[in-house]
Structure 1
Amino acid sequence: MTTSISTGVYLTHLLRQYGVELVFGIPGVHTVELYRGLTGSGIRHITPRHEQGAGFMADGYARASGKPGVCFIITGPGMTNITTAMGQAYGDSIPMLVISTVNAHGRMGSGEGWLHELPNQQALVSGVCAFSRTVNRPEELAGMLAQAFAVFNGARPRPVHIELPINVMLAEAGHLPMPEPMQLSRPGPAPAALAETARLLAGAARPVILAGGGAARAEIGRLAEAFDAPLVMTTNARGLLPPGHPLAVPLSPSLGSTRALIAGADVVLAIGTEFGLTDYDMNEDGGFALPGTLIRVDLDPVHMARGITPHLAIVSDAAGFAEALLPLAPAGPQKDGAARAARACKGRDDLPEAYLRDLNLLSLVRDTLPGVRMVGDSTQLTYAGNMNYEAAAPGTWFNSATGFGTLGYGLPAAIGAKLADDRPVVAISGDGGLQFSLSELASASEAQVPVVLLLHDNSGYGEIKSYMIARNIPTLGVDIYTPDLAKIASASGWHVERVTDVVQLPDFLREGAARSGPTMLIFGDDLRAQLPLD
């Protein structure tokens, strides 16, 4: 006998089939049927206070876990709210499954003023996702989910949007099968291209490897050691080699010494990096040059045809490529990779004093909390970290200050990251950025997520103010009224400490990481001034 269930409940069963353990969403009258099947399903639901927060939480969860972050989003305003978060995830190639409702057939796009009606919801979000599809019949849902997970598991991972018209969500689906998820392998390198790569790298006098976020889960550090090649790690690849490794170059390729290293290479192997300008030409001065032979490895063949044309283009998963190339590395004498990496790393000395102090603050956090994952907003500490923070492991440093460049990301993304595993998580935010997602303080308390928020309070948009001053622009709109964030956090269930002496910080960090709920540590420019420059 067929059990009677709605398509909304059928969706929950399908998500469990794909191993989904967590959903972020805010219930509304158009989505409540999606919630009917959550009870007893084993899927935990987290309620943010804004759909943008839901998207940022899903983003942080995906980066930390390697699994897609899943959101249940209401028709219309819910979708307009989450598009900013989808834009950040799209820019950074983060898997996110956004499941929304849409007005029923005969109502959607009618212009008759139905609740939450948009002229074309799918068109609204299509620019920030790999695809957006409408489930017109219950029988289509399983296939669309299979396509979504094919993107997550086999192609360049990006957000996917699936919308269910309300009449379809309510439709009978008890007769539908429960298909097993498709087992999908990512593409690997062609043997001829692999052999040519090994030949070029083995014959190179000055090889360099460039790694982006697409390589963060691959054994790129072992490749660097095998070919004695300095490894330049962009923001989302930090930690592929640990701090102090002789081949590690955790210095932005927008800086002169890193650019000199790359320009002096005779062979460059670029893995999982799109050569985005926010990594390679942050100041938009056009100074990045790559005159040597370029081998480029990426999942996205279309993107390899943009910008710098490679000598050899290899469509492959980074992990599979590294695994296949390692046995082909020569067992010969070491070259001068460590010396070249050391010269590049001296570029740290040219950073502004404020950045050097901030980098020492970040190192203090890293060394105090072993294994810590730091999740940054677009704020001064994060900008400094993107220049030269030395992450201890891959996936332990990420933020919204590259690519799409959103504000309000740090806190909700850190909540999502903490839900993924047991690592200590420290969110980095400024008082201006935090006010974009201030309501998510309550979300962290409700979910009992023990994140530590390191909050730089300078009563305004300090980085933009400095930018305006440097260009002789009147500083209008940057000195903002800042409420008492400590009181707001306390009222939201947070433990709050003001850090005025840098000697206090390690104990505050350890105590915060050990609590069962969230902790806010507020500091000002006086604390930054106490940090060393070396």
Structure 2
Amino acid sequence: MADLTGGQALVRALAAHGVTQAFGIPGTHNLEIYRHLAAYGIAHLNPRHEQGAGYAADAYARVTGRPGVALTTTGPALLNIAAAVGQAYSDSVPLLVVSPGMPLRHPRQPTGLLHEMRSQTDALRAVAAFSHRVSTVEEIGAAVARAFTLFRTGRPRPAHIEVPLDLLTEAAEAGPVPLAPPAPWAAPDAGALAAAAAALRDARRPALVLGGGARAAAPECRELAEQLGAVVLTTANGKGTVAETHPLALGVSLHSPAVRDWLAHECDALLAVGTELAESDTWTTEPLAVAGPLIRADIDPAQTYAGRPADIALVGSARETVRALLGETAAAARDTGAAVRGTAAAAGTVAALRAGRDAETADRDARWLPYLRALRAELAADAVLTSDSAQCCYYGALPHLPLGPEGRYLHPTGFGTLGYALPAAIGAKTAAPERQVVALSGDGGLQFSVQELATAVQLRLPLPVVVFDNGGYGEIRDEMTARGDTPTAVDLPPPGVPPVDLAALARAYGGHGARAGTPAELADALHKALRTPGPTVITVPEEPAR
């Protein structure tokens, strides 16, 4: 037993769980946490806004596979990060937010203490898996272990730990650090596995839908698709789990009416791995229709009956589940000729569906395709792209920029936050400084977190930020026009006000800026930006849709 302050006990517990990097902003109430970071080997990066710290920690977690940690102070700082916590919850990202709270012996009656609010834990419970307020120094280690147990043994979700600010500086016996147990990955129920394997073996036109939960089973998913001759679709979070250049891969396409029609009338068995099959995946409020049985494989039992309930439910980790299915369906692959014919037929189906999907949106998407081809040509296979909730991203890059399992595409799905791309790119570059990282955004979304250009300058590493500039909130402008409304409050800047020179703003922060009016100019600017330390904002001007 040792006497430790609450701040030291907290940092010690984080280090014991393998934390080596934190993101955040110091404040009056959390200085005792910052005092101990270096001594326990935890590096720190300070974004310019707590929301940026949350998005950076989110991306760090997605790239490394380890929980991201963000530190805030009390009150407004914690509320600033709440949007990032909500995004991490939506995308099943292991994000730990640590903050001080009002003193343990603070009266219930408000006293006007700095940053005082009615209940930080109630606020964070609304967006996190849990918010845990500790009451002793010794409890801090157990609270950290609780968070890491959640991250390791179930569907990863964000968590919040609040340490009363008097406990942070109070010394008390802390005891040994409790450690979260390793994940007990059990295979799904044998009967359900047998039923799922039989349905997939018997299917003539099977398909897989791979969500973010399938990423850990990428090789197994590809092998299963090839064994079955199955069409492979992904959600935004599953993008690239199977290389999108593979002949069986249709990529991010559940939003396509042609693809959904094929699933509803032709697909005679669908295996969905690690996905909610949510509105943010299908872009419709209607449950996904499938002609044959729907098999749902998920670590979260609730997902097997959420939305469109599973006909066959497989509860377990993606890797264990798909490996078990491979063994169960191996008999169907013994007839080599049949397997080859099935794969060829599926590849033909994929080609036809891709053509149908692209024809549906050819007029809308044509403006981005040449730029995306130029972007792809400059990127390494393992590049990381971060994305905003912008037209150029969800209409353009998600379906049309091919990616493989070596790379990553980080998109704010579901919650649909704006301002994610730039701070997420900072987190991704912090996680993998040796890999190319590129942020994709629109001008509206970028300005939600544009101050993080200053943080990117601190990294002293190449970080291109490609901004498709349509002069405002293009999606909302288009929706207003489609309703027959006069577009209102969607032009940035409003008429009569000079536009913001985003490239010049990047230079003002100490970075670099360029303008790319053609795909060739984008290729040249990106080539240079990938070799120039610091952020480079590359603006691609677009004509606003009218």
Q: Distance in 2 between matches of 1:66 and 1:179?
A: 22
SS at match of 2:310: coil
Amino acid in the other structure paired with 2:388:
D
> 170-179 or 427-436: which moved more?
170-179
Q: CA deviation at 1:396?
A: 1.4
Q: Distance in 2 between matches of 1:68 and 1:175?
A: 23
1:191-247 deviations in Å (ceiling 9; x for gaps): 332222222211111111111111122131221111111011111111122233111
Q: Distance in 2 between matches of 1:9 and 1:82?
A: 23
User: Does 2:91 match 1:92?
Assistant: yes
Corresponding position of 2:307 = 307
Corresponding position of 1:427 = 439
1:123-150 deviations in Å (ceiling 9; x for gaps): 1110211111111111111111111111
Q: Distance in 1 between matches of 2:441 and 2:252?
A: 22
CA contact (8 A) 2:513 2:537 kept: yes
SS at match of 1:310: coil
Q: Cα gap change, 1:119/1:267 in structure 2, threshold over 3 Å: closer, same or farther?
A: same
Q: CA deviation at 1:358?
A: 1.4
SS at match of 1:100: strand
Corresponding position of 2:169 = 170
CA contact (8 A) 2:138 2:174 kept: no
Corresponding position of 1:294 = 294
Q: CA deviation at 1:173?
A: 4.3
1:475-528 deviations in Å (ceiling 9; x for gaps): 110112242222221111111111123212223212211222221111102799
CA contact (8 A) 1:215 1:272 kept: yes
Q: Cα gap change, 1:320/1:109 in structure 2, threshold over 3 Å: closer, same or farther?
A: farther
Corresponding position of 1:470 = 482
Matching of residues 294-443 of structure 1 within 5 Å: 294-328=294-328, 329=330, 330-331=332-333, 332=335, 333-334=338-339, 335=342, 336-346=345-355, 347-370=357-380, 371-384=382-395, 385-393=397-405, 396-400=408-412, 402-421=413-432, 422-443=434-455
User: Does 2:539 match 1:522?
Assistant: yes
Amino acid in the other structure paired with 1:442:
A
Q: Distance in 2 between matches of 1:242 and 1:527?
A: 33
Q: CA deviation at 1:174?
A: 5.5
Q: Cα gap change, 1:291/1:201 in structure 2, threshold over 3 Å: closer, same or farther?
A: same
Listed as ranges, the gaps of 5+ residues in structure 2 are 494-498
CA contact (8 A) 1:233 1:250 kept: yes
SS at match of 1:404: coil
Corresponding position of 1:118 = 117
User: Does 2:262 match 1:275?
Assistant: no
Corresponding position of 1:64 = 63
Q: CA deviation at 1:407?
A: 0.7
SS at match of 1:439: helix
Q: Distance in 1 between matches of 2:212 and 2:295?
A: 17
Q: What is the TM-score with the length of structure 1 in the denominator?
A: 0.94
User: Does 2:239 match 1:238?
Assistant: yes
Q: Distance in 2 between matches of 1:120 and 1:213?
A: 33
Q: Distance in 2 between matches of 1:70 and 1:40?
A: 17
Q: Cα gap change, 1:61/1:355 in structure 2, threshold over 3 Å: closer, same or farther?
A: same
> 189-198 or 82-91: which moved more?
189-198
CA contact (8 A) 2:62 2:93 kept: yes
CA contact (8 A) 1:57 1:415 kept: yes
Q: Distance in 1 between matches of 2:306 and 2:521?
A: 49
Q: Cα gap change, 1:495/1:109 in structure 2, threshold over 3 Å: closer, same or farther?
A: farther
Q: What is the TM-score with the length of structure 2 in the denominator?
A: 0.92
Amino acid in the other structure paired with 1:202:
R
CA contact (8 A) 2:502 2:513 kept: no
Q: Distance in 2 between matches of 1:175 and 1:425?
A: 41
> 403-412 or 501-510: which moved more?
501-510
CA contact (8 A) 1:232 1:248 kept: yes
Q: Distance in 2 between matches of 1:287 and 1:348?
A: 23
Q: Cα gap change, 1:266/1:211 in structure 2, threshold over 3 Å: closer, same or farther?
A: same
Q: CA deviation at 1:458?
A: 2.4
Matching of residues 18-33 of structure 1 within 5 Å: 18-33=17-32
Amino acid in the other structure paired with 1:267:
A
Q: Cα gap change, 1:180/1:124 in structure 2, threshold over 3 Å: closer, same or farther?
A: closer
Q: 1:487 aligns with which of 496, 500, 504?
A: 504
Q: Distance in 2 between matches of 1:423 and 1:78?
A: 31
> 457-466 or 200-209: which moved more?
457-466
> 178-187 or 7-16: which moved more?
178-187
Q: Distance in 2 between matches of 1:317 and 1:108?
A: 46
Aligned residues: 524
Q: CA deviation at 1:99?
A: 0.6
Q: Cα gap change, 1:184/1:283 in structure 2, threshold over 3 Å: closer, same or farther?
A: closer
Q: Cα gap change, 1:509/1:173 in structure 2, threshold over 3 Å: closer, same or farther?
A: farther
Corresponding position of 1:531 = none
Corresponding position of 2:40 = 41
CA contact (8 A) 1:232 1:250 kept: yes
CA contact (8 A) 2:88 2:158 kept: yes
Q: Distance in 2 between matches of 1:519 and 1:62?
A: 24
Amino acid in the other structure paired with 1:178:
V
Q: Distance in 2 between matches of 1:449 and 1:185?
A: 39
Q: Distance in 2 between matches of 1:109 and 1:368?
A: 59
Amino acid in the other structure paired with 2:317:
D
Corresponding position of 1:199 = 198
Q: CA deviation at 1:109?
A: 4.8
Q: CA deviation at 1:271?
A: 0.6
Q: Cα gap change, 1:102/1:4 in structure 2, threshold over 3 Å: closer, same or farther?
A: same
SS at match of 1:56: helix
Q: Distance in 1 between matches of 2:25 and 2:293?
A: 51
1:396-432 deviations in Å (ceiling 9; x for gaps): 11212x3011111110011111111122111011111
Q: Distance in 2 between matches of 1:470 and 1:362?
A: 27
CA contact (8 A) 1:69 1:95 kept: yes
SS at match of 1:193: helix
Q: Distance in 2 between matches of 1:416 and 1:140?
A: 30
